Amino acid sequence: MKYKYSGCSRLSVLNIPNSVTSIGSYAFYGCKSLTSVTIPDRLQLIDNAVFWGCSGLRSVVIPNMVEVIGERAFQDCSSLTSVSIGELVDSIAYAAFAACKSLTSVTFPDSVRVIGNLAFTDCIQLAGGHRNSVLDRRRATYGRHRRC
């Protein structure tokens, strides 16, 4: 599905079929009208920049089977307010949620070991204690998180 629907201006609701196990890079990049996405339980990989620039997206639930959230996967999703990360996610890559300026809530499972550099940079609505109370408690390795 790499680049499949990039920039599609008419896509507002997305229900990914249960048969899909991975979403390729840039599949929905820049779909600014996308407000809702249902990710199937069988999905194992959210590749790089899949939802980058989907500025209308409001919330996302990462299913339990996903192991990796790719680089810039949700970067610049400026309306994104909440993220719930599935039980098997091991790593959140570089800038995965960078510049999600409305993000106020992120739920991490104990499985998260690696949080890449700038994964939550410029998430200006996250509580000031977010880094210490969530990331440190999970004993994750992480890089710089400006304004987080």
- Is the Cβ–Cβ distance between 73 and 93 less than 8 Å? yes
Q: What is the model's pLDDT at position 97? A: 96
* 147 in a structural domain: no
pLDDT at 133: 36
Residue 148 lies in a domain: no
d(CA 60, CA 39): 8
What pLDDT score was predicted for residue 5?
82
Identify whether 67 is part of a domain: yes
Distance CA 138, CA 114 (A): 10
Per the structure, how many domains does the chain have? 1
| Residue entry with tokens 């939802």 | 51
Give a yes or no: residue 116 inside a domain.
yes
Which 8-state DSSP code applies to residue 131? I
Residues 61-116 have pLDDT tens digits of 999 999 999 999 999 999 999 999 999 999 999 999 999 999 999 988 888 999 99
**Domain region containing 80:** 1-142
Phi then psi dihedrals of residue 26, to 5 deg: 60, 20
The reported pLDDT for the residue numbered 140 is 43
pLDDT at residue number 109: 87
CATH of the domain at 25: 3.80.10.10
**pTM attached to this predicted model:** 0.85
25 in a domain, yes or no?
yes
**18-63 residue pLDDT tens:** 999 999 999 999 999 999 999 999 999 999 999 999 999 999 999 9
